[in-house]
Amino acid sequence: MATPKRINLGLQGGGAHGAFTWGVLQRLLEDERLEIAAMSGTSAGALNGAAVKSGLIENGREGAIAQLDWLWSQMAGINDMRLATWIGGPFMSPGAFSRALEASAPFSFADTYSRMVSPYAYGPFYQNPLERIVRQFDFDEVCAKTGPDLFICATNVRTGKIRVFTGHDISTEAILASACLPEIFQAVEFEDPQTGEIEAFWDGGYTGNPALFPMFEAHLPSDIIVVNINPLVRDDLPKAPQEIQNRINEISFNSSLLRELRAISFVQRLLSDGTLEPGPDEARPYPRDRRRPADERAVCGDQAGAHRLYHRDAETGGLCRGPHIPRPAFRPDRAGQLCRPGSDVQLNSSGCVGSLGLG
Q: What is the pLDDT of residues 215-240, one digit of tens each?
A: 999 999 989 999 988 888 899 999 99
Of the candidates 348, 315, 323, 352, which has an alpha carbon nearest to the alpha carbon of residue 34?
323
In the chain, pLDDT over 90 holds for what percent of residues?
48
Give the span between the Cα atoms of 108 and 302, in whole angstroms. 33
Q: What is the pLDDT of residues 115-170, one digit of tens each?
A: 668 888 888 878 899 999 999 999 999 999 999 999 999 999 999 999 999 999 99
In sign, the C-alpha dihedral spanning 28, 30, 32, 37 is positive
Give the span between the Cα atoms of 221 and 224, in whole angstroms. 8
Q: Where does residue 304 fall: left (phi above 0), alpha (psi -120 to 50 degrees), or beta otherwise? A: alpha
Strands 149-156 and 347-348: unpaired
Q: What is the pLDDT of residues 247-280, one digit of tens each?
A: 888 898 899 999 999 998 898 888 888 888 776 5
Give the range among 29-43, 202-216, 277-291 with minimum mean pLDDT.
277-291
Check residues 204 and 87 and name the one with the higher pLDDT.
204
What is the pLDDT at residue 310?
35
What is the pLDDT at residue 192?
97
Check residues 63 and 103 and name the one with the higher pLDDT.
63
